[in-house]
Every structure is written in structure tokens, then in C-alpha cells.
Structure 1
Amino acid sequence: MKKILATILGVCCLLVTYAQQQYPFYNDIQAFKHADSLNKPAGNEILFIGSSSFTYWQDVQNYFPGQPIINRGFGGSSLPDVIRYADDIIFSYHPKQIVIYCGENDLASSDTITAAIVLQRVQTLFSIIRKQMPEVPLVYISIKPSPSRKRFMPVMEEANSSIKKFLRKQHNTAFVDVYHKMLNKDGTIKEELFKADQLHMKAEGYAIWQKALAPRLK
């Protein structure tokens, strides 16, 4: 019996290790689940999902007082990651609205990722959400320009434009443009908005996001 139990335990450990190796951000998702077990969301919150620009927005609630927010951004994620974990970071909650920031890491991951591919991924995520939550309002924040990724700016603009056109035709959906608000008049990036890594934002950058996003929140 002890040998059987030891074998079962060993198999379980291997499965967990395999899951961690196969799927990136496994530990991030488990951390969300643990946080929910300690303080379960009541439902009817505004749900933020996406990549590290949300992960680093730890004080997002202070920017929107009176608006209950759940932040489920996990750093470095791309749209396929958000799609993969949709059951855990979207459908396990009952949000009154969903705010998405994702796509920047997709473009930066490889020169083979085009604006058309990012659009297709956004459409896939949109369809998945709409199947289970047909009436929940969705907000997509445009891909931001980052100094460390300035070479991707042309494809970022192309992706933003195509995503905006797609969402314009969808029900109960909004596109929030932060890209152009983070540029100087000459089209260069406002580098003072960014931390030393030239990728993640300081509070001044988030202040721009807050101003652009606030009118769209329910």
C-alpha cells in the first residue's frame, strides 16, 4: 500500500511539474486562485486582464475610487496566454465589465508576428468571451509605445488601427487609444513616462491611462 501511495504521489508531482513546464505563467494563475481563496471577490467588479502593464498597476484601485476592480494581469503574457487561462482569470469571476491590455508582448516576441496575427488573436479572445458573456461590456486598451520597443512602432500602429476597426463593429465594446497620448508632438515617445527599463510605466504614464479609460468604465 505504501508503494502504491508513493507511486501515486510521484505521478502527481510529475504532472504538476509537467504542467509548469508546458504552460508558462502557471504559478501566476495559482497565486490568483490562492488570493481568491483568502478573499473571494463578490462579483460585479471591473476585471482587468492582460500583461505586465496591468501587473505593475498595483494601485489601480486608487486611480478609480468607487469602482471595485479585480486586477488579473500577469507579467510577460501574450494573447494566447490570456486565452489559455480564460477559465481561470475571466470566467471564474462575474465581472460587470472587462478591460484588456494585451498584444504588445505578442509583437515583441518575434519579427514573424504581424499586426494581422495580433488582430486574429484579439478576435479569438473576443469570441471566447462573447460566447459565455454576451452582454458584458468590453474595453480594449491600445498597445502602448515603449522606448525599448520603438522599432515595433509601425506594426503597433497597424495593429491598433485594425483592432479599433474590428471593435467599432462589435456590440457593447470600446477601444481606448493610449498610444498617441504617450507621444510627443513630433511623434517620438515621451520617455519620461517610463521606468529605467524603458518598458514599464511610472505613475505619470498610468495617469494618462486613467484619464483615457475613466470615461469608459461602467
Structure 2
Amino acid sequence: MKKTAALVTAFLFCTISLFAQQKPFWNDIQAFKKQDSINPPPQQAILLIGSSSFTKWHDVQNYFPNYTIVNRAFGGSTLPDVIGYVNDIVFPYHPKQVVVFCGDNDLASSDTITASTVINRFKNLFQIIRAQLPNTSIVYVSIKPSPSRQKLMPKQQEANNEIKKFLKKQGNTAFVDVYHKMLNTDGSIMSDIFLEDQLHMNAKGYTIWQKEIQPVLKK
């Protein structure tokens, strides 16, 4: 009996230790892998990666019916999170185009995170993808303004401007400016394109994104 109890205790300890060691968003990545094993996604598709504004775009394929979209964004992620899982959410799909929306959560995570931090993180992600997929187009969708993060707007604009400048010097890239399209003529943030949390968008907000993103997508 004592031996059995000891074995059970050891098993529980190992199990708890395993979960404690799991990286953030591990379950999200495993869910992607399970989904892929059941229904393998097409290769050479347009791959969306990044944070929750992509994750919550559940009907994104309906917005782009003439394109093949694979969405592997996971909500709450920052650029380091995406970099940490790049071998799981990018390279297995051999995408012809990678569309990135990330950086918003980076700025919101801490007052110590500057626009320069976000810029350098994105450059790191870009270089990792470009090194292994040299012919793949890379698109960055600008950090968006939102009522709940209004105080971050100066940092958001700085990061957007510098990432745009960086991409202009790279081949086979595009920068999509959704930031200014989500503002009223007086510079205030549109109030009717967000859900109740004042962070994520409703269908009207995604329609703005569709209009700006579609022209840069690869057929």
C-alpha cells in the first residue's frame, strides 16, 4: 500500500511539474496541432499569425473568399510569444504569405515596453521567418488604436511608423495601415467598431480591415 501511494505521489508530482514547466499558450498550440492532424490545412496558403484581433476573426475566410486563409493567431500573445512558437505556427505550413498582427499586447504589458522594444521584436521575427522562407511575402498589419488603450496611442504610432520604414527597405513585404482608418476625422477613435470590451472589434471594424488588407494579399 505504501509503495502504491508513493508511486501515485510521484506521478502527481511529475504531472504538476510538467504543467508548471509548460510555456504560455502551450494549450493553444496543441489545439492547432490536433486540428491539423484531423484536417490538414493546405500548403502555400496565406497564414495569419499574431494576437487576439486575428484570433477572434473567426469568419475571416468569408471576408476573403477568393483566397485560402489559415489562421494560427493565439489571443493574448506578444511578439516574443509568436517568436517562441514560430516553428509550430509558421514553418509547417509553408505559406506563400505571412500576415502579422502583433505588438499591441507588447505595449500594454508594461509601462517599460517602448516602441523601440516592439520594433526590435518585430525585426527579430521578420528575420527568423525570412531566413527560412526567403520567398514568402511578409505583411505587417499596423497596431490598432482602441478606446481601452487610448493612452498607448503615441507609442503605437511610433512603432507603426518605424516598422513601416523598415519594411520599405525589404523585398516582398507590405505594411497595412489600419490605424488611421479606425479614427474619426478629428483624430478620435471610432466608437462603433468595437465590442463591449472596447478592445476587440465587431464586424464593422473587421470590414475596415478587409478593405485595407485585401489589396496586398497574394492570389
TM-score under structure 1 length normalisation: 0.94
Deviation at 1:162, TM superposition (A): 0.5
- RMSD of aligned Cα (Å): 1.9
Cα deviation code 1:119-159 (max 9, x no counterpart): 00000000100110011001000000010000000110001
Deviation at 1:96, TM superposition (A): 1.1
TM-score under structure 2 length normalisation: 0.93
Cα deviation code 1:56-79 (max 9, x no counterpart): 000000000021111011010000
Structure 2 equivalent of residue 13 of structure 1: 15
Cα deviation code 1:149-195 (max 9, x no counterpart): 00000110001001100011011010000000000000000011000
What is the correspondence of 1:20-169 to structure 2 with a 5 Å cutoff?
A: 20=22, 23-169=23-169
Q: Which runs of 5+ in 1 are unaligned?
A: none
Deviation at 1:19, TM superposition (A): 3.0
Deviation at 1:18, TM superposition (A): 2.8
Deviation at 1:54, TM superposition (A): 0.4
Deviation at 1:11, TM superposition (A): 7.2
Partner-residue secondary structure (3-state), 1:195:
coil
Deviation at 1:12, TM superposition (A): 5.7
CA contact (8 A) 1:19 1:26 kept: no
Q: Which moved more, 1:88-97 or 1:78-87?
A: 88-97
Report the number of matched residues: 216
Runs of 4+, deviation exceeding 3 Å: 5-12
Partner-residue secondary structure (3-state), 2:148:
helix
Q: Which moved more, 1:148-157 or 1:9-18?
A: 9-18
Structure 2 equivalent of residue 202 of structure 1: 202
Q: Which runs of 5+ in 2 are unaligned?
A: none
In 1, Cα distance between equivalents of 2:171 and 2:18: 40
Partner-residue secondary structure (3-state), 2:155:
helix
In 2, Cα distance between equivalents of 1:8 and 1:95: 43
Q: Which moved more, 1:8-17 or 1:24-33?
A: 8-17
CA contact (8 A) 1:141 1:176 kept: yes
Structure 2 equivalent of residue 187 of structure 1: 187
Same amino acid, percent of matched pairs: 62
Deviation at 1:10, TM superposition (A): 5.7
